[in-house]
Amino acid sequence: MQSTDSFEPARDEAMSCLVTGAGSGIGRAIAHAFARERAHVIVNDLPSSPALAGLCKEVEALGARCTVAAGDVADPACARSLFAHIERLDVLVNNAGILQEAPVTELTDAAWDRMMKVHLYGAFYFSREAACLMKQQRCGSIVNIASDLGQIGCENLSHYSAAKGGIIAFTKSLARELAPHGVRVNAVAPGGVLTPMVEALGDTYIEDEAARYPLKRLGTPDEIAEVVRFLSSGAASFMTGQIVGVNGGAVMNG
């Protein structure tokens, strides 16, 4: 690892980082960011994702070690099975997510449940396993990917907003619980970001979304990844329980 002084804890071996939902978009950018730090990057996405093999090659091309850990974060057995093979973990990034528009009157039980399972339950399942390991280590960092919609809400995305709001509350509670054990927990709350998931919603959605930001544009995955990297580093060693907005000014807390 070339940048040992920027991350915690400083050790001879490379730090280990697990990124869920790493196959594309923000997750892929986060994997690249840690790869540039020569971390051992463990990348997770659905077994059906065609992108994981290619991502692993990209990570290795940046000089880092990569391990593929395919699985559905909505299944608690996925986290248990994965962590059974992890001896040490410095950083967990709970990034896996889905996005689907529907007015509440047309929102099915199945759609609501799936949204909660992927976002909120997935973050819980993986954080629970990581907490057990990091408490033993007496160090570690968990970064959850929330959303500005978890703070301000959005029509036709009540299930998504509710799930992200839950992640925000979960982050603050977990930060209080794990702080005595030397483990920090923070969240990044992006605004609209130009990912394949967002692009699939169409040009009209993207234009309308960009218009609501003071900066009048959407963010990029790399802009989110750099904040995640910072929160995981020693430079943020006095930060825990924080919800860091990267949203072009959509949310301004005074």
Residue 193 structure tokens:
């970001």
Residue 97 structure tokens:
């997510």
Give the start-end residues of each E strand in the chain.
16-19, 40-43, 65-68, 91-94, 140-145, 183-190, 243-246
Angle subtended at Cα 215 by Cα 212 and Cα 220, rounded to the nearest 5 degrees: 95
Residue 174 structure tokens:
């977990």
Any catalytic annotation for residue 160?
yes
Which of 121, 160, 205, 213 is the catalytic position? 160
Cis check for the bond before 221: say yes or no (omega within 30 of 0): no
Angle subtended at Cα 124 by Cα 122 and Cα 129, rounded to the nearest 5 degrees: 100
Q: What is d(CA 186, CA 42) in angstroms, rounded to the nearest whole number?
A: 20
Catalytic residues: 160
